[in-house]
Amino acid sequence: MHPYSYKISLRVTHPNIDPKKITITLKLKPDHAWKAGKPRKTPKGTPLEGVYSDSYWYTNLIPNGEHSSEGTLLEDYLTYFEEKLRPSASFFDQVRAEGGRVELFIGIYGTRNYGFEFSPSLLESVAKLGLSLSFDIYHYPQKWG
């Protein structure tokens, strides 16, 4: 199988939670966050029309944003993060009970065919945490940094 690269981020969307609560609870620094009802703006801070309809918080879980399958397979990295996030299970339950969503967003990049396998135990563990797995698959490599 040919190598690929990937990035993984944790995303939380909620009707109105203060993103600071997410940061404190998860003990992770967000890469970007906003609170429902606040004026919208671009990532560079340029004002946009309207206000945010939901609160949103995300952080990249992999340093430098991307990792190669030649170093660590995607399924191994997901297992590692599932174990790290396990203590936050009750918080994730609360977010979902209040109409929110918690997901592991996975961007995958490669120029040829590649594959990965999620074991039943990994899928069960992620499901127990109530995390969605979201994928964007690109047919070209990224050039981060």
* Domain containing residue 42: 5-138
Please say if the pLDDT value at position 74 is more than 60.
Answer: yes
What mean pLDDT is reported for the chain?
A: 90
What digits encode the pLDDT tens for the residues 76-105? 989 999 999 999 999 999 999 999 999 999
Q: Confirm whether 10 is domain-assigned.
A: yes
Mean pLDDT to the nearest integer, 26-34? 95
What digits encode the pLDDT tens for the residues 111-139? 778 888 899 999 999 999 999 999 988 87
Q: Confirm whether 134 is domain-assigned.
A: yes
Q: Confirm whether 22 is domain-assigned.
A: yes
Q: Confirm whether 143 is domain-assigned.
A: no
Q: How many domains does the chain have?
A: 1
DSSP string over the chain? ----EEEEEEEEEESS--HHHHHHHHT---SEEE-TTSEEE-TT--EEEEE-SSEEEEEESSGGG-EETTTS-HHHHHHHHHHHHGGGHHHHHHHHHTT-EEEEEEEEE-SS-------HHHHHHHHHHT-EEEEEEESS-----
Q: Confirm whether 144 is domain-assigned.
A: no
Mean pLDDT to the nearest integer, 26-49? 93
Mean pLDDT to the nearest integer, 12-28? 97
Q: Confirm whether 45 is domain-assigned.
A: yes
Please say if the pLDDT value at position 145 is more than 50.
Answer: no
